[in-house]
């Protein structure tokens, strides 16, 4: 409790030289408090919001809450008058069909087609001949494909194993690597399709069935559209042992018999089978609601207001879980705390503008969706910017500022800063000076490098600005035992420190929005100086 009292109110401003402080900046920071933080976070991280998973009800509720608050502040909706920037999210389900000699096999029981191997255009094929190629091996001393041309053919192979060897203990990673090598060879050899005899289909787990039958959510980014519209490659179909034996029955044999033949002879048992096989896969796409929430504060200087500072945080989290008594991943710290920080910083600047003390440059307050899915919302904005990226002077990104980690267990008066000197020496100096002049938090830079094994520089929304050459600062309190767990609840939030870290973002934003010059980009993405 004692450390909380040390951070409350405005004691934090006492003892610093007044010459370094802007009194208007201090005046309008007074709404960035632990009480206001609790007001927002107690809503956003409540069970009612169901963990705010992208594309689900809880995320829509959070987006509506943020929009309503931005509107109440008098911020402008910059997306054709609206506060929502729709992100192109869709679910894809796969209709899959496999028939053997005219008899339909049952999907998710007798076979399944990995959805990621099917393009948006789908596929279909019919053949009267398939090639059984044993273990699908092509190595020195043993070659299942010797003398064979697989181009345009449907090939049947065993998923794993070696000729004559007893089944080894399951090693999923090794099996996957080996299978990928087989599929790569067949694809490069221009096979039409491969049927993989997969023991995992024989006794399919409930989790695998659920995964295979669920609708997959994706964002239609430029990269994903190009990938899905690429020419269809080789189709992969995983089949059960029983399904494989139905195919092999036309030749009067079976999987076990062929394995024994290979083991006894030490030679491949590759052979063509006369059997009618047809298959098709069709993707069904459904639009899903998802949006970034934007609130815009226009700058006061006629010349500088075209330049935009962006303040970001992601409002989504990972939703509900099916195990345990507590089903809600509340995401109080990740990233309810950062979203709360954005809202409080926005309120402070909105009050400053109403009092005639608004920033010279414009500020875009943006809470993004889909961060937990792969930085989707910020990627979408970077591909579809509302304000030109060349006019964007910096991004201050807040992702987890409500807790601490084990390395700061005895003193939570810290925040990790990441990226501040990666592209701009100016931004680094401005951020550190704002901290020294106003807040005096311990700025921990241990993760501030591109070779950090945790890769934090690449794991939050600032990176989608940095990759376009826009300077960034990522504010972060580190991971804790409740990271991505139902235990990430408001009861564990250090609200005074949440407010203090948000104040640091606010004062840094104040200096950036009112400075004589925008921070110069003097480094390349790889950290080398610009010439």
Cα angle value 275/279/285 (rounded, 5°): 175
Q: Do residues 247 and 277 lie in contact, with contact meaning Cβ atoms separated by under 8 Å?
A: yes
Helix (H) or strand (E) holding 380: helix 376-383
Q: In this model, does residue 60 exceed pLDDT 70?
A: yes
pLDDT band for position 7 (50/70/90)? Answer: very low
Mean pLDDT of the 473-480 span: 98
d(Cα 470, Cα 381) in Å, to the nearest integer? 13
User: Which positions ≥6 away from 420 have C-beta within 8 Å?
Assistant: 427, 428, 431, 432, 448, 471, 472, 473
Average pLDDT over every residue of 68-88: 98
Where b means 16+ CB within 10 Å and e means fewer, 483-520 reads eebbbbbbebbbbbbbbbbbbbbbbbbbbbbbbeebbe
pLDDT value at position 26? 97
* Axis crossing angle, helix 495-514 with helix 34-44, rounded to the nearest 10: 100
Confidence of residue 223 (pLDDT cuts 50, 70, 90): confident
The stretch 46-51 carries a mean pLDDT of: 98
Query: What's the maximum distance between 2 C-alpha atoms anywhere in the chain?
Result: 93
Question: How many Å apart are CA 269 and CA 275, to the nearest integer?
Answer: 17
CA distance 514 to 360: 5
The pLDDT, as a whole number, for residue 167 is 67
* 352-369 residue pLDDT tens: 999 999 999 999 999 999
Q: Does residue 19 register a pLDDT over 60? A: no
399 and 334 in contact (C-beta within 8 Å)? yes
pLDDT at 425: 97
Domains of the chain: 21-87+290-404+436-441+459-473+482-514 (3.40.630.10), 91-287 (3.50.30)
How far is C-alpha 227 from the geometric centre of its chain's CA atoms?
Answer: 18
Q: How far apart are CA 439 and CA 436, in angstroms?
A: 6
Answer whether 422's CB lies under 8 Å from 466's CB.
yes
* pLDDT score for 229: 62
SS (H, E, C) 286-313: EEECCEEEEEEECCCCCCCCCCEEEEEE
Between 13 and 143, residue with greater pLDDT: 143
259, 419 in Cβ contact below 8 A?
no
Q: What does pLDDT average to over the chain?
A: 92
For 404-460, the pLDDT digits (tens) are 999 999 999 999 999 999 999 999 999 999 999 999 999 999 999 999 999 999 999
| Residues in contact with 491: Cβ distance below 8 Å, sequence separation at least 6, in sequence order | none
Nearest in space to 310 (alpha carbons), one of 351, 355, 345: 345
Q: Residues 64, 282: contact at Cβ < 8 Å?
A: no
**If pLDDT is split at 50, 70 and 90, which confidence band does 4 have?**
very low
Whether 492 and 403 have beta carbons less than 8 Å apart is answered as: yes
pLDDT digit string, tens, across residues 124-158: 999 999 999 999 999 888 999 999 999 999 999 99
pLDDT of residue 230: 57
Tell me what the mean pLDDT of segment 455-473 comes to.
98
Nearest to 27 by CA among 349, 305, 342, 311: 349
Q: Give the pLDDT of residue 211.
A: 84
Residue-level pLDDT at 169: 62
Pairing of the two strands 392-398 and 472-476? parallel
pLDDT in tens, 263-290: 999 999 999 999 999 999 998 999 999 9
Give the residue among 98, 112, 129 at the shortest CA–CA distance from 250.
129
Query: What angle (nearest 5°) sits at the alpha carbon of residue 12, between those of residues 9 and 14?
Result: 110
Calpha distance 278→273 (Å, rounded): 14
Whether residue 525 is predicted with pLDDT greater than 90 in this model: the reply is: no
pLDDT at 228: 61
Yes or no: say if 513 and 299 are a contact pair by the CB < 8 Å rule.
Answer: yes
Work out the pLDDT band at 170, boundaries 50, 70, 90. Answer: low
Q: What gap in Å lies between CA 508 and CA 394, rounded to an integer? A: 11
Residues 6+ apart with CB under 8 A from 121: 229, 232
Residue 321 confidence (pLDDT): 93
Query: pTM (2 decimals)?
Result: 0.85
3 state SS of 76: strand
Helix (H, G, I), strand (E, B) or coil at 166: coil
Predicted pLDDT of residue 88: 97
Query: Given this model, what pLDDT does residue 17 score?
Result: 35
Closest CA to 235 of 324, 309, 357, 130: 130
């Amino acid at each position: 409790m004692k450390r909380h009292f040390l951070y409350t109110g405005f004691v934090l401003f006492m003892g610093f030289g007044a010459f370094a402080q802007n009194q208007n900046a201090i005046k309008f920071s007074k709404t960035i408090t632990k009480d206001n933080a609790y007001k927002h976070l107690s809503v956003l991280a409540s069970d009612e919001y169901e963990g705010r998973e992208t594309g689900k009800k809880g995320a829509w509720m959070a987006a509506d809450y943020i929009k309503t608050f931005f509107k109440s502040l008098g911020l402008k909706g910059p997306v054709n008058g609206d506060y929502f920037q729709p992100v192109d999210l869709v679910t894809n389900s796969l209709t899959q069909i496999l028939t053997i000699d005219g008899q339909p096999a049952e999907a998710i029981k007798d076979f399944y087609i990995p959805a990621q191997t099917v393009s948006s255009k789908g596929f279909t094929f019919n053949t009267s001949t398939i090639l059984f190629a044993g273990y699908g091996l092509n190595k020195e001393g043993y070659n299942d494909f010797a003398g064979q041309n697989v181009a345009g053919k449907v090939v049947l192979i065993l998923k794993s194993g070696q000729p004559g060897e007893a089944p080894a203990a399951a090693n999923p990673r090794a099996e996957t690597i080996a299978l990928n090598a087989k599929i790569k060879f067949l694809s490069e050899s221009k096979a039409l399709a491969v049927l993989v005899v997969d023991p995992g289909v024989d006794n399919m787990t409930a989790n695998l069935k659920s995964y295979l039958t669920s609708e997959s959510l994706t964002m239609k980014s430029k990269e994903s559209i190009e990938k899905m519209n690429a020419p269809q490659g080789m189709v992969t179909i995983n089949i059960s042992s029983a399904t494989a034996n139905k195919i092999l029955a036309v030749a009067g044999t079976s999987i076990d018999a062929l394995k024994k033949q290979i083991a006894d002879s030490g030679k491949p048992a590759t052979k063509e089978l006369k059997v009618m096989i047809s298959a098709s896969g069709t993707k069904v796409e459904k639009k899903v609601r998802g949006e970034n929430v934007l609130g815009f504060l226009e700058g006061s200087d006629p010349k500088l207001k075209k330049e935009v500072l962006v303040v970001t945080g992601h409002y989504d989290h990972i939703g509900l879980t099916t195990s345990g008594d507590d089903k809600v991943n509340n995401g109080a710290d990740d990233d309810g705390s950062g979203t709360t920080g954005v809202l409080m910083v926005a309120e402070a600047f909105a009050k400053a503008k109403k009092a005639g003390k608004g920033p010279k440059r414009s500020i875009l307050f943006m809470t993004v969706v889909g961060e937990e899915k792969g930085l989707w919302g910020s990627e979408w904005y970077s591909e579809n910017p509302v304000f030109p990226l060349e006019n964007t002077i910096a991004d201050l990104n807040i992702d987890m500022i409500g807790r601490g980690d084990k390395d700061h267990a005895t003193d939570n008066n810290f925040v990790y800063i990441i990226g501040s000197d990666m592209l701009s020496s100016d931004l680094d100096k401005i951020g550190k000076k704002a901290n020294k002049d106003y807040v005096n938090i311990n700025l921990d830079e241990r993760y501030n490098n591109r070779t950090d094994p945790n890769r934090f520089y690449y794991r939050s929304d600032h990176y989608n600005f940095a990759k376009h050459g826009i300077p960034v600062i990522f504010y972060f309190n580190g991971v804790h035992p409740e990271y991505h767990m139902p235990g990430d609840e408001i009861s564990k939030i250090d609200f005074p420190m949440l407010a203090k870290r948000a104040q640091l973002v606010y004062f840094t934003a104040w200096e950036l929005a009112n400075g004589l010059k925008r921070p110069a980009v003097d480094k390349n993405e790889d950290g080398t100086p610009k010439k």
